């Protein structure tokens, strides 16, 4: 049994999810069931950070993964990001690292710089 | 070999350095902190007292009146914020009325000019926001507000320009008394000086004991303050004191030269010399006591609370005299209130004692006794435009709350005594003094210090040694 | 002196949306005055995702969200003055500015939109006691150090306040290798979005102490210890509940304050509850031709709402200019009052017989409640009511009242909450 706060709406129901049977209780509405199952089985997050940039307006360029990655891979991706250096100019959306840490997501620039 | 080493770069050490640097002498100021004005000088009521408070006949009584007149002349010469707004001691009952009469008589004896006892109506006329049950007040027009750290910094800058060496981050650890000089060991170096002026504030007893026997001790007394936003600054127009009672001295309510409102201090005796913490208990006392003067203060507009230490001693008066062991070691100690008001006059006495101790001090042919200091906010639009044309950095506003420009930060960083910390810049340029307390401008000031002084970004500190701001670079 | 039809003070999300909207509504002579070296405001340092869900149906980062507006503005005729600080404003819409290139100069505009944003509350107003060494940051300052300048502010942190910026910084510092020991929240509930509680705290096992506050701070040079204590229902610390944390950093996420110093200079009336100007339903302040929107008006939870509010201000400013600068406030107006359970409303005043079919009102409630009814009334008469499943102080609420229901109303109207029960 795992417990989560549902983030679908501001109400924040406390969900209880049985990981084996995939049953959800404590949900105030039907949307909580889907959320609870995903959080129990394969929680995913978008990772955002910055990378070093040379010749830009600032020292750091904001970056993100283009799609959500497994929550368990956040720190593996951060390790890769720490080694990433880029040079100005960079265009928003430009792919900086493909399939970062084997997560299936690309690391992309968040802005022009 | 220095002729004179001044230990301590507070307002007293700075005053002595200011005057001594105008003489043909090789002098230095030794200071343990990263900047001048770091002790009591930067954390006090920022008041130039009229001089009715000290008991007639004391050194304090004599030097207060003389010192406050000297500061009135010095402030414009040194471009130091100063406003002679006058003070009122408020009386709320019969006993208070007796007290203000006593103070009035003391003032007359001490040579304070222009004082008047005001009626309730007269008091409320000039100070409409105070409690309406005020019974009367003592008006002293010569009292003033000042930026104490700027006075100290300005005097040190002039001294530095006149050739005085400033040995900052040098804590004195040992003083050896030789027949004709002293050998001073600091955490950084060794040096010799024929004369010493001990202006070490709350540490002056320890410094004196290093060189020989010491016949006084310092008992630091902590005072806590609120500094409120500028939108509270015009609640009162004058420096407002309460009458002292057996319950305490009362707290003052006053505008500051920057337009804020200061209220405080309380008094906590036998304080640890390093303890500058604020406490709920202490600040609550200040708030409750200030409410006896006016109930118009909104404490939600507090921008900063702080504590300062008074260098009270086991004597009732300033200690300005040669040490027991040598005529060449002058103690300037126990400089409690009205120390700031008296400082230039204290320096005069110290110089006199040095001369009596055998130091010849002919005047330099060429020396400075003033400084120029640009405050963007005080200029007319025409002056601003001229300045920006000559130096575009004055068109770049860094501190939004107080409208401080990059030009003023550069002026501080390239002054004769450049600061290297965020708060050092703050004390000179006024950045981060406003309502956001540096929330916006600190990272920018940080960057400018790093760039101009070639200090790695992560090495720039807030104020005291060890007060780093960022821990590491990504 | 420069003359423009419209001057927008601030180039953050509010100013950007307002300027674009004014352009789209026919205004060509527009100047945007921005004090920073680039447009985008605080969004530039908000590198996390979660922006734009309402507006674009996508999860954008702050810079991505800003970029969409910046590029749109660049396609308009609006002139952008960067590095330009406004140091004066009066009710005749004369604006005094200063920058490196032009020095001090004046702009006169037919209409002005105030979009200066807000600042963070810091140590002073919340009266934090203790030592005064370095290492205490407002969360936003720490965010700038990290995300723009690229420096970690400390290795071990405690965060006071569970506002969104504090929560976001808890995750950010953790991802960069720092240890966040605790988040303390004075109130019995968090002010942050649930999503941030989950993704910024729970994901990393960071404890949230509700009904706790910082009661002492140690460290004369750099912070080395923070003490937190539980508070009672009057928010007073309870002796004996102290918890100590050895840490080098304390982040404060204790509220935002609209930056209305300029507004005050122009002597525009301020609502002490929002800390922003009093506005009519056309976003106009009591000073004719001066409009306000975004966080300078009232603090929003989501930038999406800032954008839509600012678009309305831009549109209304455009109508004011094209209509020959005749204020509709000359017509009869009524006040909107805070009824039971309501902390503030925006707007605070309504023009009777305004041109729109409906009146949009934003408000905040005092406490959490479920299955509630939001009532709009005038005197004893209920004009309209709205059902709400869930209400919380941290969530800005919005109702839309059909104008025709406001016909024949000549006293003030009040908005109040009838709670089905508190949570």
B433-449 residue pLDDT tens: 888 888 899 999 999 99
Is there a shared CATH topology between the C1-120+255-329 domain and the C122-254 domain? Answer: yes
Between chain B and chain C, the number of residue pairs with CB atoms below 8 A apart is 139
Which pLDDT score, from 0 to 100, does residue C331 have? 73
Which pLDDT score, from 0 to 100, does residue C18 have? 98
| Chain B residues closer than 8 Å to C149 by CB | 443, 447, 457, 470
Which pLDDT score, from 0 to 100, does residue C423 have? 52
3-state secondary structure chain B: CEEEEEECCCHHHHHHHHHHCCECCCEEEECCCCCCCCCHHHCCCCEECCCCCCCCCCHHHHHHHHHHHHHHHHHHHCCCCEECCCEEEEECCHHHHHHHHHHHHHHHHHCCCCCEEEEHHHHHHHCCCCCCCCCEEEEECCCEEECHHHHHHHHHHHHHHCCCEEECCCCEEEEEECCCCEEEEECCCEEEEEEEEECCHHHHHHHHHHHCCCCCCECCEEEEEEEECHHHCCCCCCEEEECCECCECCCEEEECCCCCEEEECCCECCCCCCCCCECHHHHHHHHHHHCCCCCCCCHHHEEEEEEEEECCECCCCCEEEEECCEEEEEEEECCCCCHHHHHHHHHHHHHHHHHHCCCCCCECCCCCCCCCCCCHHHCCHHHHHHHHHHCHHHHCEEECCCCEEHHHHHHHHCCCCCCCEHHHHHHHHCCCCCCCCCCCCHHHHHHHHHHHHCCCHHHCECCCCCCECCCEEC
Q: Rounded to whole angstroms, how far apart are CA atoms C151 and C146?
A: 5
Mention every residue, 6+ apart, whose C-beta is less than 8 A from residue C26. Answer: C318, C322
Whether cis (ω within 30° of 0) applies to the bond prior to A74 is: no
- SS3 state at C64: helix
| Chain C residues closer than 8 Å to B435 by CB | 119
Mention every residue, 6+ apart, whose C-beta is less than 8 A from residue B352. Answer: none
Sign of the torsion formed by the C-alpha atoms of B426, C88, C115 and C107: negative
What does CATH list as the number for C331-423? 2.60.40
| Chain C residues closer than 8 Å to A12 by CB | 194, 197
Active site residue B446: no
Nearest residue of B to residue A79 by CA position?
A: B474
Whether cis (ω within 30° of 0) applies to the bond prior to A89 is: yes
Instruction: Give the tokens for residue B391.
Output: 């130096």
Within 10 angstroms of residue B325's Cβ, the number of other Cβ atoms is: 13
Among C61, C45, B76, smallest CA distance to A107 is for C61
DSSP label at C422?
Answer: B
| Chain C residues closer than 8 Å to B279 by CB | 129-130
The sheet carrying C179-185 orders its strands as C136-138, C249-252, C156-160, C179-185, C208-210
Q: Rounded to whole angstroms, how far apart are CA atoms C350 and B180?
A: 86
Q: Using pLDDT thresholds of 50, 70 and 90, give the confidence band for residue B271.
A: confident
C149–A5 CB contact, under 8 Å? no
User: pLDDT digits over A27-44, tens only?
Assistant: 888 888 988 999 998 899
What's the gap in Å between the CA of B474 and the closest CA on chain A? 8
Q: Using pLDDT thresholds of 50, 70 and 90, give the confidence band for residue C421.
A: low
Q: Is the pLDDT of residue C87 over 60?
A: yes
Confirm or reject contact between A106 and chain C (CB < 8 A).
no
C103–B403 CB contact, under 8 Å? no
Domain ranges of chain A: 2-41, 45-109
CB nearest C100 (choices: B388, B401, B471):
B388
- Residue the block writes with tokens 């069931």: A33
Q: Is the pLDDT of residue A22 over 80?
A: yes
Whether cis (ω within 30° of 0) applies to the bond prior to B265 is: yes
Q: Rounded to whole angstroms, how far apart are CA atoms C329 and C284?
A: 9
C49–A48 CB contact, under 8 Å? yes
Confirm or reject contact between B421 and chain C (CB < 8 A).
no
Over the range B263-297, which residues count as b (16 or more CB within 10 Å of their CB) and which as e? Answer: bbbbbbeebebeebbbbbebbebbbebbbebbeeb
Sign of the torsion formed by the C-alpha atoms of C187, C193, C194 and C195: negative
User: pLDDT digits over C221-251, tens only?
Assistant: 999 999 999 999 999 999 999 999 999 999 9
Report the top-level CATH class of C1-120+255-329: alpha beta
Interface test with B, best of C100, C214, C247 (most B CBs within 10 A): C100
Q: What are the C-alpha distances in Å from B115 to residues B103, B241, B388?
A: 10, 15, 45
- The domain covering B1-82+145-218+311-373 belongs, at the CATH homologous superfamily level, to FAD/NAD(P)-binding domain (3.50.50.60)
The chain-wide mean pLDDT, for chain C, equals 94
DSSP C274-315: TTEE-BBTTSBBSSTTEEE-GGGTS--S-HHHHHHHHHHHHH
CB B197 within 8 A of CB B7: yes
CB nearest C47 (choices: A6, A78, A110):
A110
CA atoms within 13 A of residue C113's CA, in its CB half-sphere: 42
Domain ranges of chain B: 1-82+145-218+311-373, 83-144+221-309, 376-459
Confirm or reject contact between C87 and chain B (CB < 8 A).
yes
* B376-459 fold: Arc Repressor Mutant, subunit A (1.10.10)
The sheet carrying C349-351 orders its strands as C349-351, C333-338, C413-418, C369-378, C381-391
Q: What are the C-alpha distances in Å from C256 to residues C38, C163, C296?
A: 22, 10, 10
C66–A10 CB contact, under 8 Å? no
What's the gap in Å between the CA of C85 and the closest CA on chain A? 20
Confirm or reject contact between C150 and chain B (CB < 8 A).
yes
Confirm or reject contact between B474 and chain A (CB < 8 A).
yes
Which pLDDT score, from 0 to 100, does residue B465 have? 94
Helix (H) or strand (E) holding A32: helix A31-41
| Chain A residues closer than 8 Å to C150 by CB | 50, 52, 58-60
| Chain B residues closer than 8 Å to C87 by CB | 397, 403
Which pLDDT score, from 0 to 100, does residue B111 have? 97
| C246 dihedral zone (left: phi>0; alpha: psi -120 to 50; beta) | beta
Helix (H) or strand (E) holding A33: helix A31-41
Domain ranges of chain C: 1-120+255-329, 122-254, 331-423
Which pLDDT score, from 0 to 100, does residue C255 have? 92
B189 vs C194, more confident: B189
Q: Rounded to whole angstroms, how far apart are CA atoms A61 and A80?
A: 15
Within 10 angstroms of residue B250's Cβ, the number of other Cβ atoms is: 19
Mention every residue, 6+ apart, whose C-beta is less than 8 A from residue C383. Answer: C376, C377, C401, C405, C406, C409, C413
% of chain B beyond a pLDDT of 70:
100
| Chain B residues closer than 8 Å to C98 by CB | 384, 388, 395, 397
Region B444-458: what's the mean pLDDT?
97
Strands C270-271 and C276-277 turn out to be antiparallel
Q: Is the pLDDT of residue C61 over 90?
A: yes
Q: Rounded to whole angstroms, how far apart are CA atoms B17 and B160?
A: 9
Region B161-167: what's the mean pLDDT?
98
Q: Is the pLDDT of residue C183 over 60?
A: yes
Among B316, B294, B306, B340, smallest CA distance to B54 is for B316
What's the gap in Å between the CA of A21 and the closest CA on chain C? 23
Between chain A and chain C, the number of residue pairs with CB atoms below 8 A apart is 83
B461–C134 CB contact, under 8 Å? yes
User: pLDDT digits over B203-259, tens only?
Assistant: 999 999 999 999 999 999 999 999 999 989 999 999 999 998 776 678 999 999 999
Nearest residue of B to residue C127 by CA position?
A: B305
- SS3 state at C353: coil
* Total length of chain A: 113
| C285 dihedral zone (left: phi>0; alpha: psi -120 to 50; beta) | beta
Which pLDDT score, from 0 to 100, does residue B198 have? 98
Region C361-377: what's the mean pLDDT?
92
Q: Rounded to whole angstroms, how far apart are CA atoms B63 and B343?
A: 8
Chains in contact with A, where contact requires at least 3 CB pairs less than 8 Å apart: B, C
Chains in contact with C, where contact requires at least 3 CB pairs less than 8 Å apart: A, B
CB C368 within 8 A of CB C392: yes
Q: Answer yes or no: CATH 3.50.50.60 is held by domain C122-254.
A: yes
Confirm or reject contact between A50 and chain B (CB < 8 A).
yes
% of chain B beyond a pLDDT of 90:
93
Mention every residue, 6+ apart, whose C-beta is less than 8 A from residue C338. Answer: C273, C344, C345, C363, C414, C415, C416
ipTM confidence: 0.93
Q: Rounded to whole angstroms, how far apart are CA atoms C399 and C386?
A: 8
Q: Rounded to whole angstroms, how far apart are CA atoms C36 and C24?
A: 25
CA atoms within 13 A of residue B368's CA, in its CB half-sphere: 18
- Residue the block writes with tokens 């506050």: C213
The sheet carrying C225-230 orders its strands as C212-218, C225-230, C243-246
B277–C131 CB contact, under 8 Å? yes
Interface test with A, best of C45, C150, C365 (most A CBs within 10 A): C150
Among C33, C167, C114, C100, smallest CA distance to C283 is for C114
User: pLDDT digits over C140-181, tens only?
Assistant: 999 999 999 999 999 999 999 998 999 999 999 999 999 999
Region B343-348: what's the mean pLDDT?
98
Residue B439: φ, ψ to 5°? -55, -45
Distance between first and last Cα of chain A: 46
- SS3 state at C107: strand
Nearest residue of C to residue A29 by CA position?
A: C389
| Chain A residues closer than 8 Å to B474 by CB | 50, 52, 60, 82
Confirm or reject contact between A82 and chain B (CB < 8 A).
yes
Of the candidates B49, B238, B373, B446, the residue annotated as catalytic is B49
* B83-144+221-309 fold: D-Amino Acid Oxidase; Chain A, domain 2 (3.30.9)
CB C109 within 8 A of CB C4: yes
Instruction: Give the tokens for residue C78.
Output: 């609006």
Distance between first and last Cα of chain B: 47
- The domain covering A45-109 belongs, at the CATH homologous superfamily level, to CPE0013-like (3.10.530.10)
Q: Using pLDDT thresholds of 50, 70 and 90, give the confidence band for residue C422.
A: low
% of chain C beyond a pLDDT of 90:
82
Which pLDDT score, from 0 to 100, does residue C351 have? 87
| Chain B residues closer than 8 Å to A52 by CB | 474
């Amino acid at each position: 049994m795992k417990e989560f706060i549902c983030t679908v709406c501001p109400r924040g129901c406390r969900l209880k999810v049985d990981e084996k049977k995939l049953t959800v209780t404590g949900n105030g509405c039907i949307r909580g069931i889907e959320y609870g199952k995903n959080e129990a089985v394969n929680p995913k997050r978008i990772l955002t950070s910055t990378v070093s940039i040379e010749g830009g307006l600032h020292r750091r360029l904001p970056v993100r993964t283009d799609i959500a990655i497994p929550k368990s891979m956040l720190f593996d991706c951060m390790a890769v990001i720490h080694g990433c250096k880029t040079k100005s100019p960079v265009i928003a959306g430009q792919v900086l690292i493909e399939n970062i840490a084997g997560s299936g997501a690309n690391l992309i620039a968040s802005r022009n710089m | 070999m220095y002729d004179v080493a001044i230990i301590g770069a507070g307002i007293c050490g700075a005053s002595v350095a200011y005057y001594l640097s105008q003489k043909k002498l090789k002098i230095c100021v030794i200071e343990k902190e990263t900047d001048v004005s770091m002790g009591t000088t930067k954390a006090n009521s920022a008041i130039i007292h009229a001089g009715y408070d000290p008991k007639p006949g004391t050194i304090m009584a004599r030097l207060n009146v003389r010192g406050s007149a000297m500061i009135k002349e010095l402030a414009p010469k040194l471009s130091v914020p100063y406003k002679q707004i006058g003070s009122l001691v408020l009386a709320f009952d019969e006993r208070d009325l007796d007290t203000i009469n006593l103070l009035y008589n003391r003032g007359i004896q001490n040579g304070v000019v222009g004082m008047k006892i005001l009626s309730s109506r007269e008091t409320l006329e000039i100070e409409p926001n105070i409690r309406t049950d005020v019974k009367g007040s003592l008006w002293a027009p010569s009292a003033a507000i000042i930026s104490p750290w700027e006075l100290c910094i300005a005097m040190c800058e002039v001294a530095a320009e006149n050739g005085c060496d400033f040995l900052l981050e040098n804590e004195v650890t040992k003083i050896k008394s030789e027949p004709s000089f002293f050998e001073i060991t600091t955490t950084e170096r060794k040096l010799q000086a024929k004369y010493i002026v001990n202006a070490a504030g709350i540490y002056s007893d320890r410094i004196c004991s290093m060189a020989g026997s010491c016949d006084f001790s310092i008992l630091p007394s902590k005072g806590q303050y609120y500094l409120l936003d500028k939108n509270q600054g015009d609640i009162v127009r004058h420096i407002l004191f309460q009458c002292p009672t057996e319950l305490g001295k009362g707290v003052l309510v006053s505008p500051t030269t920057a337009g804020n409102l200061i209220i405080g201090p309380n008094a906590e005796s036998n304080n640890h010399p390093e303890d500058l913490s604020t406490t709920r208990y202490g600040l609550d006392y200040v708030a409750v006591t200030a409410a006896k003067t006016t109930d118009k203060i909104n404490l939600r507009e507090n921008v900063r609370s702080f504590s300062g230490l008074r260098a009270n001693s086991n004597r009732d008066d300033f200690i300005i005299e040669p040490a027991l062991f040598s005529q060449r070691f002058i103690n300037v100690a126990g400089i409690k209130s009205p120390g700031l008001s008296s400082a230039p006059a204290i320096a005069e006495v110290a110089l006199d004692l040095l001369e009596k101790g055998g130091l010849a001090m002919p005047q330099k042919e060429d020396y400075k006794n003033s400084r120029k200091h640009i405050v963007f906010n005080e200029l007319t639009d025409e002056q601003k435009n001229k300045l920006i044309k000559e130096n575009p950095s004055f068109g770049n506003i860094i501190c939004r709350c107080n409208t401080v420009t990059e030009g003023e930060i550069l002026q501080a960083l390239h002054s004769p005594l450049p600061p290297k910390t965020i708060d050092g810049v703050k004390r000179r340029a006024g950045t981060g003094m406003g309502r956001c307390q540096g929330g916006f401008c600190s990272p920018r000031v940080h960057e400018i210090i790093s760039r101009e002084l070639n200090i790695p970004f992560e090495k720039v500190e807030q104020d005291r040694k060890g007060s780093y701001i960022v821990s590491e670079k990504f | 002196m420069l003359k423009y039809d419209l001057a927008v003070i601030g180039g953050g999300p509010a100013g950007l949306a307002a300027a674009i909207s004014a352009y789209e509504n026919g205004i060509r002579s527009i100047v945007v005055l921005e004090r920073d070296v680039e447009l985008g405001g605080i969004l530039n340092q908000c590198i996390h995702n979660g922006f734009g869900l309402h507006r674009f149906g996508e999860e954008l980062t702050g810079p991505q969200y800003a970029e969409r507006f910046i590029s749109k503005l660049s396609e308009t005729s609006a002139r952008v003055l960067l590095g330009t600080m406004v140091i004066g404003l009066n009710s005749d819409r004369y604006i005094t500015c200063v920058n490196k290139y032009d020095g001090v100069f004046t702009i006169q505009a037919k209409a002005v939109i105030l979009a200066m944003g807000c600042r963070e509350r810091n140590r002073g107003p919340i009266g934090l006691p203790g030592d005064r060494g370095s290492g205490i940051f407002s969360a936003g300052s720490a965010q700038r150090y990290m995300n723009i300048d690229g420096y970690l502010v400390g290795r071990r942190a405690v965060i006071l306040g569970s506002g969104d910026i504090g929560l976001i910084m808890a995750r950010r510092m953790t991802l960069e290798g720092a240890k966040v020991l605790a988040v303390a929240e004075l109130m019995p509930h968090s002010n942050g979005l649930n999503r941030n509680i989950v993704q910024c705290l729970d994901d990393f096992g960071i404890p949230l102490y509700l009904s706790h506050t910082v009661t002492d701070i140690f460290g004369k040079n750099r912070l080395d210890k923070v003490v937190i204590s539980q508070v009672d229902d009057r928010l007073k610390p309870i002796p004996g509940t102290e918890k100590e944390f050895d840490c080098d950093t304390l982040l404060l996420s204790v509220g935002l304050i609209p930056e209305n110093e300029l507004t005050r200079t122009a002597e525009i009336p301020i609502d002490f509850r929002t800390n922003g100007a009093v506005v009519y339903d056309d976003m106009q302040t009591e000073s004719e031709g001066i409009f306000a929107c975004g966080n300078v008006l009232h603090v929003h939870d989501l930038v999406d709402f800032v954008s839509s509010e600012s678009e309305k201000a831009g549109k209304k400013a455009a109508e004011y200019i094209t209509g020959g600068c005749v204020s509709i406030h000359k017509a009869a107006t009524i006040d909107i009052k805070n009824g039971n359970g309501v902390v503030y409303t925006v707007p605070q005043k309504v023009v009777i017989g305004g041109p729109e079919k409906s009146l949009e009102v934003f408000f905040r409630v005092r406490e959490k409640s479920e299955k509630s009814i939001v009532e709009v009334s005038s005197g004893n008469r209920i004009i309209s009511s709205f059902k709400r499943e869930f209400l919380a102080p941290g969530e800005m609420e919005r109702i839309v009242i059909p104008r025709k229901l406001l016909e024949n109303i000549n006293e003030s109207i009040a908005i109040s909450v009838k709670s089905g029960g508190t949570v």
